[in-house]
Structure 1
Amino acid sequence: MTTTAPERPIDTPPPPPPRPNRRRRWVAAAVVALSIWPLASYTQALTYPGNASFAVRTVEWVRDNGGGGLVDLVESIWYRQGPTATAPDPAGLPRPSATSSAAPAPAPLPVLQGATPVPGEGVWTAGQAAPGGTPAVYTTFIRPDPQHPSVVAGVARFDQGLTRTQVIAGTREPTGSAGPEGAQVPAVARSALVATFNSGFKMKDANGGYYADGQVRVPLRDGAASLVIHRDGTATIGRWGRDVTAGPDVVTVRQNLDLIVDGGRPVPGLDVNAFGTWGSARNQLQYTWRSGLGTDAAGNLIYVGGKDLTLASLADALTRAGAVTGMELDIHDNMVDLFTYRHDPSGALSTATKLLPNMPGPADRYLVPDQRDFVAITLR
């Protein structure tokens, strides 16, 4: 037997079409509205003037928008494992230089005890010479970590009697706008350029201040590790308020955290980092790119930078290089680089050489506008 549906009366109207879900529309509209600001902010970060990699722009945008704790956690996990190799990667070692100098080179730095010496370890190579023929910079590499003999730190030593030091502001750091140099080495200074290298942490993380052009741009902190540039172009590293203070002779002060080398020795407590003296908790234990700056007993300026360094091994590297006072500069990938320069007979730049071949920065960094402040060394 078959059945049929009951017929609807001919005058009964059809059921109305289903109404759209208003709640969904409101939710979708809210999602779109809430996405506009982050998208615009991120786009601005990616397109902000000045050299910076996509990764650096992204990480710094996350930090600047409430994600600092997350970034710190990820970095703590990512960098907590030390290197396992027993010898340095040859690709990360400087190539022997054919450059010679009539001036005697400084005494070699001590090699790592208990490990097979690496060719060139601790042996100084002459760089750009002053008009009289004396090298203004010498470079070498050392191994500062006995527990990890594959770790290499590059070292550059600048004769401050032959050079001048200048901090050049970037498009974002330390004050949010470039200085008169345009966030790069000025064209008029390039014929005398000896080297450039990275500065310190972003100012919001540096626990210190910045003084330039006769103005305190970011308030200076008593006790902070300070790079102080004097009117004669010499640089001093010291503790603000104890070793260095404001005065008519001071043209620039760039502070970053606290000293890590004092009196020729690493400062106690670097492996503990109590109260976040040297940055976020446990960052002192991370095996990562690090850099530092110090002065030796003769007044030479000493830069150290390398991969897989902890805060303690960075301080050890500075002391092994002869620093009596030293401070940490910037850390992590794409933040640590030093370039030395050569010139052709006309004085034009001919080559730029990384302190270590595996330093990640492009060779023309600081010759084009950069987001971060940096240090330029020129001949007198």
Structure 2
Amino acid sequence: MPKPVVGHIPGKSRLITFVAIALVTGFLTLAGMSYADALNAPGYASFADKTSEWLRDHGAGPLVDSVESWYYTRHVPSTTAADVKQFAHGAPASNAHLQLPTLPIPVGSTVAPRWLPGRPAAGGKPALYTSSFEPDRAHPSVIAGVAVIDSAAVKLHLMPGTAQPNSAQNHSAAQVPAVDVPNLAAVFNSGFRFGDIAGGIYAFGHELKPLHAGSATAVIDDRGRLTIGEWGREVKASSHMVAARQNLALLVDDGRSQPQIRGLGYWGGTGLENQYTWRSGLGVDRNGNLIYVDGNQLNLSALASALVDAGAVRAMQLDIHPGMATFVSYSVDHARHATPSKLLTWQPGPLNRYLTPDRRDFFYVTT
């Protein structure tokens, strides 16, 4: 007996097609709306950074890592030396009250870069000194900016952002409070996104993400002093701690660069240490003063070497990639009018970053 022929049901086929199109359209619409929200979120970030953040938040982190590693490892800095004239701008610091290190002499010059005094603190002594130098002997075209901050003359503050950390207990204003703006000496960026690291953050009496044993940690006490160490070793929880921010492992420990000692696996992702990109770092010298360094086309070893050259005995990497390294200092005239200046004039981003709400956590310095 012949088998019955099953007939085609046009109505059912059209329904399945309609449902499939509706689902795909809905998904693309929701994804597009989510991406648009990410692009329009308050706070400064480059288009590339907003896009990479959105992709990471939606499960494409490995793809972003692969693309970034492919791009940044292939853009090796030039071996042509930088113009030595840019290391001699401004009046040099005379009779500096801090023990400032002698920076490496630039290729083509016979003198070390000058240190420039920043805003006066109480008593008239500068709250910080800034300079720039060549941190990578193999690539003298690379220039790093450096600031040494007098820990005894200033107060440090950690301010959570609107999106980092993402915590129900994060009620931060995400900007420098108006009451602190008249005494502002500097602002600078913090570390990686919290979804990309094991480390955590403590601020305003709350552990907004749990602090992780062994992580490099910047700790601020109730006097406004900041120090850096490994959590559980040099630094730990106490009744005097008011803020703590972690990021990866110590980059400099006991005055020695760690990438050459510890090898791979400590620096946030496969091949991340080999990328030539914007990087920033924060350290302390033997006298407890703070050292901030940033620059473009730095790999991790060059950043660590720069921090050691600047006198750091312990240091941690902060954020990386264009637009994420931000250091702005403030000078004042006799009428107390403040003028902001970037540590490196070609540093991406607005001068008033952190004076308006920002998505990322950051540090600021007051006199």
TM-score by length of 2: 0.90
Per-residue CA deviation, residues 175-195 of structure 1 (Å, 9 max, x unaligned), is 357966511111110111000
Q: What amino acid is aligned across from residue 363 of structure 1 in structure 2?
A: L
Distance in 1 of aligned mates of 2:87 and 2:359: 27
Alignment correspondent of 1:370: 358
Shift of 1:24: 4.7
Q: Return the offset for 1:372.
A: 0.4
Residue 41 of structure 1 is matched in structure 2 by 34
- 2:316 corresponds, among 327, 331, 335, to 327
1:172-211 aligned at under 5 Å gives the runs 172-176=163-167, 182-211=173-202
Residue of structure 2 in register with 1:353 after alignment: 341
User: Which residue of the other structure, out of 255, 262, 267, is the alignment partner of 1:264?
Assistant: 255
**1:156 and 1:302 in contact (8 A); partners too:** yes
Q: Distance in 2 between matches of 1:270 and 1:278?
A: 13
Tell me by how many angstroms 1:76 deviates. Answer: 0.4
Q: What is the match of residue 77 of structure 2?
A: 83
Shift of the alpha carbon at 1:277? Answer: 1.4
- DSSP 3-state at the match of 2:25: helix
Secondary structure in structure 2 of the residue aligned to 1:34: helix
Task: Give the CA deviation at 1:30.
Answer: 2.8
Counterparts of 1:126-145 in structure 2, within 5 Å, are 126-145=117-136
After TM superposition, give the deviation of residue 46 of structure 1 in Å.
1.9
Matched AA of 1:78? Y
4+ residue segments displaced more than 4 Å? 18-21, 98-108, 176-181, 268-271
Which residue is 2:4 aligned to?
Answer: none
Residue 128 of structure 1 aligns to a residue whose secondary structure is coil
Aligned-partner residue type, residue 357 of structure 1 = T
Give the Cα–Cα distance (whole angstroms) in 1 for the partners of residues 103 and 81 of structure 2.
Answer: 17
CA offset at residue 270 of structure 1? 6.2
Corresponding letter in the other structure for 1:335 = M
- Which of 209, 225, 240 is the matching residue for 1:218? 209
Which of 150, 160, 168 aligns to 1:159? It is: 150
The whole-number CA distance in structure 1 between the counterparts of 2:169 and 2:364 is 15
Q: Specify the structure having the higher radius of gyration (Cα).
A: 1
* C-alpha contact 1:226 1:238 (8 A) present in aligned 2: yes
* Counterpart for residue 246 of structure 1: 237
Matching residue within 11, 24, 33 for 1:31: 24
CA contact (8 A) 1:340 1:354 kept: yes
The 1-side partners of 2:84 and 2:257 are apart by: 29
Partners of 2:160 and 2:203 within 8 A in 1: no
Q: CA deviation at 1:147?
A: 0.8
Can you list the C-alpha shifts for 1:359-380, whole angstroms capped at 9, x where unaligned? 101111011111101110110x
CA distance in 2, matches of 1:105, 1:249: 26
- Greater alpha carbon shift after TM alignment, 289-298 vs 260-269: 260-269
| Residues matched between the structures, number | 356
| Distance change >3 Å, CA 181–CA 19, structure 1 → 2 | closer
What is the SS of the residue equivalent to 1:304?
Answer: strand
Quick one: which of 279, 284, 292 aligns to 1:295? 284
SS at match of 2:293: strand
1:205: how far off? Answer: 1.2
Q: Distance in 2 between matches of 1:74 and 1:277?
A: 20
Could you give the per-residue CA deviations for residues 252-290 of structure 1, whole angstroms, max 9, x where no partner exists?
Answer: 1100000010001112546842xx311110010000100
Task: Check conservation: 1:101, 1:135, Cα contact below 8 A.
Answer: no
Is 1:117 aligned with 2:109?
A: yes
- Give unmatched runs, 5+ long, in structure 1: 1-17
In the TM superposition, residue 28 of structure 1 has moved relative to its aligned partner by 2.6
- How far the C-alpha of 1:48 sits from its partner, in A, is 2.3
Across the aligned residues of Structure 1 and Structure 2, the Cα RMSD in angstroms comes to 2.5
Asked whether the equivalents of residues 247 and 316 of structure 2 are also in contact (C-alpha less than 8 Å), the reply is: yes
Greater shift in the superposed pair: 222-231 or 199-208: 199-208
Cα pair 2:169 2:206 within 8 Å, conserved: no
Identity over aligned residues, as a percent?
A: 44
Q: Aligned residue for 1:171?
A: 162
Give the Cα separation in 2 of the matches to 1:209 and 1:105: 32
**Aligned equivalents of 2:332 and 2:102: distance in 1?**
28
Distance change in 2, residues 1:373/1:201 (3 Å): same
* Cα contact 1:264–1:325 (8 A) shared by 2: yes
Partner of 1:140, secondary structure, is: strand
Q: Distance in 1 between matches of 2:113 and 2:208?
A: 39
Q: Secondary structure at the match of 2:228?
A: strand
- Counterpart CA distance in 1 for 2:346 and 2:168 is 30
Gaps of 5+ in 2: 1-9
Match of 1:5 in 2: none
The question of whether the paired residues in 2 share the 8 Å contact of 1:155 and 1:303 is answered with yes
